[in-house]
Structure 1
Amino acid sequence: MSLADRTPPTHEEYESYRERFSNWGRWGDDDRLGTLNHITPEVRRHALTLPREGRSISLSLVISTDPRSSMVSGFEQEMRVGPSSSGDRISINFHGWTVTHLDALCHIFAAPENALYNGRPTSDVTIEGAGSGSVEPYHDGIVTRGVLYDVPRHRGTDFVTIDAPVHGWELADIAAAQGVEPMPGDAVIVRSGANAFYASRPEFEMGMFNEMPGVHATAIEFLYDHDAALLVWDLLDAGQQDLGYGLPRPDGDAVKVPIHEIVIPYMGMPLLDNANLDDLADACAESGRYEFLLMVAPLRVRGGTGSPVNPIAVI
């Protein structure tokens, strides 16, 4: 399988991704940034030259007490209102399908090796926090070129359906159609039309044990070959589906989150899940420009497995 022949991988080929697309040792045995190493000072300086209008756009969903799926955020907001001031205390379980968040490299383990990214032992992660692979090393922020891959607009549809996931070769086609050349250090931003999909299916339950629309594992090769730094997406892994769409294992089970399982622990790529990309898509279509400055500032949580974020695109 390769992007050139436009063929999804077999199970055996998918399993080979663990070695084929591994970055273990690429930036040294003590590396904690993974693919964010592709964001060099030169990449940041170039990104800062991209805004033309000076308009900033949030890529975050609203956090509220009204979760849209069974994978609830557990968001709680305790208000304190006094005679002359107010405050609140919030609690949130941000991993899942309802909150815009960043996955750190300790979030998914390398299963056969029982290891974290770069071969660190999973014992580094305890109830006290993650000693390796946490979100804390990203405290200086992620500042780079963002490139929007607007799949529904390219297809002429409202959203990506379960039976037609986004393949890596389609991302290459979209880049060519948009006149954008992928560059090292890019944030690859894949819009699948999540808001329209969920609006059309109000009873749809998201989760790794259900068939999910989204991005196919063939996108992993695209990310690796172009030295992408970050994947930002509104619909996540296309998982739990039949051969050709999902990736069943020999025992008949399916790979539940096929992109998460490779890019986090092996490639060392953080994932920015559940982005809200509709406003950005409209702005890019209006201007005809699909590259822009992207800024992401995760919370500086020592030992954290990730962070809720409000990514900002500046066009």
Structure 2
Amino acid sequence: MATDARPARLTPAEFDTLYRRLAGRAAEGDGGARTPARVLAATREVRTGRTVTMAAPVQTAPGPDDPEPARHRMSQWPGRSGESGSGLHFAMDRFAMNVHGDADSHIDALCHVIYDGTLHGGVPAGTVTEGGATALAIDAAHDGIVGRGVLLDIPRLRGVPWLEPGDHVSADDLGAAERAQDVRVTEGDLLFVRVGHRLRRAELGAWHVARARAGLHPSAMEFLAERRVAVLGGDGNNDTAPSCTDGVDFPVHVLAIHAMGLYLLDYLQFEDLARACEEERRWSFLCVVAPLRLPEATGSPVNPIAVL
């Protein structure tokens, strides 16, 4: 069984070497391209037709991890302005969200990470302006992201309900979880890694996750590169806090989005899916991710659906 020993810190030079290696691998291959053939193959994962959400309910109350929660306001409702109950009326509302907050489920576009003056693939950072992103915006995924999903449950592997803030998931953890769950991550897969963030939040309450949270160690991205996955999703931020990389606060974001060109899904919830996978005795499924069509946005609220 993998342990919760924390891997070593990375120096700037070590991180740069890792970055270049992963970017080089991404450039050599198709980056786990979601081809029609792979989508068609993923449909064979459907056995029962059971559908399960991987999104958490949108938060509208402030908390230590969400000082600027989503705002939901009714703009029209029965009885407003003395309207009578006769005839036709409509209930209407408005919604606003900080897409990249630390509480709500969302997907990061490839324009989200600016590193050393560029976006993924060397696209100039200046393509992101006050008016929005003119390159690599989330609308590039307007046809949806569909493929074989795999959930690797690290707390299950370690025999704990959740990983404690500050703990790391290593490449060895990912491999050990595969063996324990009798599943294998393959090219083009949508990989989801559970650290138990949502369960801990539900049972112990919200905390300042910008200061302390569980996530992947940057070296674990070697596993994703070797398997050529297409997407990475987590029930936390995917990055550990505090960072173990000197000078880089979000090394997994930099490696996944900027170096490898992966869509990254943050703050999902896997409690429902983990329970369903246990009941079905399998950890792979058809997965459908449908971001909103926001032409110049750096991300989107998201509700990924697993179909077992």
TM-score, normalised on structure 1? 0.86
Q: Which amino acid aligns with 2:42?
A: A
Question: How many angstroms does 1:19 deviate by?
Answer: 1.1
1:44 aligns with 2:32: no
Q: Matched residues, percent identical? A: 34
Q: Which runs of 5+ in 1 are unaligned?
A: 1-5, 29-33, 250-254
Matched, 1:239 2:261: no
> C-alpha separation between the residues in 2 aligned to 1:19 and 1:159?
32
Q: Select 1:303's aligned residue among 288, 292, 296.
A: 296
Deviation at 1:74, TM superposition (A): 3.3
Which residue is 1:213 aligned to?
214
Cα distance between partner residues in 2 of 1:173 and 1:25: 24
Alignment partner, residue 78 of structure 1: 73
3-state DSSP of counterpart to 1:259: helix
- Partner of 1:49, secondary structure, is helix
Q: Does 1:89 align with 2:90?
A: no
Q: What SS does the aligned partner of 2:287 have? A: strand
Q: Compare 55-64 and 76-85 and name the one that shifted more.
A: 76-85
Structure 1 contact 8–218 (Cα < 8 Å) conserved: no
1:25–1:118 CA contact under 8 A, matched in 2: no
Unaligned runs of 5+ in 2: 1-5, 79-84
Alpha-carbon distance in structure 2 between the residues aligned to 1:178 and 1:25: 27
TM-score by length of 2: 0.88
CA deviation after TM superposition for structure 1 residue 153, in Å? 1.0
Equivalent positions of 1:57-206 (< 5 A) are 57-79=52-74, 80-82=76-78, 83=85, 84-111=89-116, 114-202=117-205, 204-206=207-209
- List per-residue Cα deviations over 1:132-190 (Å, max 9, x = no partner): 11111100000000000011111110101135321111101111222212211111100
In 1, the alpha carbon distance for the partners of 2:294 and 2:24 equals: 25
Counterpart residue identity of residue 247, structure 1: T
Q: Distance in 2 between matches of 1:24 and 1:189?
A: 21
Residue of structure 1 equivalent to 2:3: none
- Higher alpha-carbon Rg: 2
- Distance in 2 (CA, whole Å) between partners of 1:98 and 1:91 is 14
CA RMSD of aligned residues (A): 2.1
> What CA distance in whole angstroms lies between the structure 2 residues aligned with 1:156 and 1:67?
32
**Residue identity matched to 1:161:** E
Amino acid of the structure 1 residue aligned with 2:232? L
The aligned counterpart of 2:18 is 17
The residue identity in structure 2 corresponding to 1:14 is F
* 1:283, distance to aligned residue in structure 2 (A): 0.8
Greater fraction of residues in helix: 2
Q: 1:65 to 1:163 in 2, by over 3 A?
A: closer
SS class of match (2:251): coil
Q: Which 4+ stretches in 1 moved above 2 angstroms?
A: 6-10, 23-28, 67-74, 199-203
Alpha carbons 1:103, 1:306 under 8 Å: kept? yes
Asked if the contact 1:168–1:222 (Cα under 8 Å) also holds between the matched residues in 2, the reply is yes
Distance 1:283 1:199 in 2: 19
Residues 311 and 72 of structure 1, relative CA distance in 2, 3 Å threshold: farther
Instruction: Give the 3 Å change call, closer, same or farther, for CA 24–132 of structure 1 in structure 2.
Output: farther
